[in-house]
Every structure is written in C-alpha cells, then in structure tokens.
Amino acid sequence: MKVLVTGAAGFIGYHVSARLAGTQHCEVLGVDNLNDYCPIELKRARLHQLEQFESFRFVQADFADAKAFNGLYDHFKPDYVVHLGAQAGVRYSLENPAAYVHSNLLGFTTVMEACRRRPPKHVVYASSSSVYGAGSKPPFAEDANTDCPLSFYGATKKSNELTAYSYAHLHGLNVTGLRFFTVYGPWGRPDMAPILFAQAITEGKPLKLFNHGKNLRDFTYVDDVVDGLLKVLLYPPAARPTPPARVFNIGHHRPVETILFVRMLEQLLDRPAQVELVEAQPGDMFETCADLTRIQAAVGYTPKVPLEEGLKRFVAWFREYYVKV
C-alpha cells in the first residue's frame, strides 16, 4: 500500500514513517517543509534515520501550498493519508498566531481538498488534547463539549475536527482525528517538557514548573501512539448511519504531576534539578487525562509502555543525541 505522511520530519511523523517503511509491501512518501520552529538539524537527523528504508521517499514541500501539494499528491496517488504536519505548541500560539492560521487552517484545508479530489481509503489526522478546554472534566471523553479551548492552538485543532466532519458529510471522505495526549519519547520535540527538563537538569540550570509543579499530564509513550494510529488507519469509519468521520483519544490514562515527572528524570540522569515553582501560564490546562473507552472498543488500543520504562528509553536516547556520554 502507499501512504502519504505529512510532517514526516517531525516527532510523531518520523516514528510513524519508520514503522510504515519497515513494513513489507508499504511505500511511504514523507512531506515536510522543514521550518525552523524546531531545530532543522534535529529534523534532518530524523530524516537521516529514515534513509535506511528503501520504501521511504521524502519531498520538502509546504502542504499549505496548494499547487505544490496537489502535484505531489496526484503523482503519488496514496491509498492512505496520515496528516501529522501542523504548527505545534500552546505557548507559541500566543506569540505567532499567523503561523497557526497558515499551517493548521489553510494547510489542513489544502490537504482535505486534495483528498476530496482523489479520495484515499482513509485520512487520519492529528488533533490534540488541547481541544478540551474550559469546563472539561477528566478523564476527557470524545463526546465532551469542546467549544471553549483555552489556547489558539487548541482552537485551530478544534477547527480541524469540524472541517474534517464537513468533508465527510459533503464528500463521503473517510476521516479520523486523533487527540494526542502529551506524547514523549526518543527524537521528541525540544520545546516539550521532557527535553526541556532533561537539558535543564543536565546543565544545572533553573527549571520552571508552572502551577507550582501541580499540573497533571497524561504522558503517552510514542510507540503506543504509533501502535494506536496504525490500528486506526487500517479500519476506516463506517459510512452509515452517520458521516464517515470520527475522533479518538490516544493517551495513557495515567496522569502524573509534573513535579513527579522531574523527580523521575533526576533519578535517571543522576543529577538534581534546580526547580523554580511559578504561577500557571495562560492557555495551560491543569490536568489532562484520556478516556480510552472509545478507541479500545473500536480497534483494541491499550497503552503498553509505563512511564518508568518510557523515560528510561527517552533518557538513553537523550544521552546519546544531546549529551554524548
């Protein structure tokens, strides 16, 4: 089968591409614009890892550029589309909302339009736990009200879900959105907590914990996320009695306080953290926890990697890539 993966040089996109490309009878086309939101050298290092797979090809392109994306889409003729490309980051959306409009709104519509013209068997796209906002009570269930996201990033992901539903209703496009919950692991994003915390501990620098370290996060190991995504990909939603659109949570269902997360990293890195407890940040959620009932019933998804094991694997990679010891 032929699978097009946007955001292939990104964290989750890299892991999905590697798993697919390592599967027999699967041809993967990765698309990424290699922007500088995260260090380009990290993205190129991920792509270098993907070069080992003969069935993986990469094209540097902006999926928000309709002419460029339509051309490569029509040439490749994918059977499946995994749309993971997006402008990520809750706090950065306060600084540069235009980047989110470009990638998450215009770009998402461009991808949907290409798929509408030549429908693949299934489109799976990245949503986020950030769609759960004011009034949401953990564990978050997919049918909870998500009309009040607390960040602009979350608002763009909510928009993606609405857009996908309309394309399913109007054009019969098979689409599934995945609400990711705090994904971590090797090759992760440098702007996310695991790498920020690990770097601060390793370098002996102050480490700020918002909301005095009491925020609860449903840390989900990346291999579990990939397992769930690929199970979902191969089972498109039923066309009737509703439009073929659905949304699933993918999390671990075991939220942990960020201060405990830091203490676990201290032990693994064998160094103390210089913790600064500060007030909560605008747009942050105090707790995230995924209700997994729906995805377990649909495809049998169950996370397998406990935080203790996942952090060991993350630290081993962190030492090799960043610390070189």
Max Cα–Cα distance, the chain, nearest Å: 57
Cβ-count burial 127-161 (b if 16+ within 10 Å, e if not)? bbbbbbbeebebbbebebebeebbbbbbbbbbbbb
73 part of the active site: no
Of these residues, 14, 153, 184, 301, which one is catalytic?
Answer: 153
DSSP label at residue 151: S
DSSP-derived 3-state class of residue 122 = strand
Cα torsion 12, 13, 14, 16: sign:
positive
Beta strands in the chain (DSSP E): 2-6, 27-32, 56-60, 80-83, 122-128, 175-180, 183-184, 206-209, 216-217, 220-221, 245-250, 256-257, 274-277
Burial class (CB in 10 A: 0-12, 13-18, 19+), 296: middle
Catalytic positions, written as ranges? 153
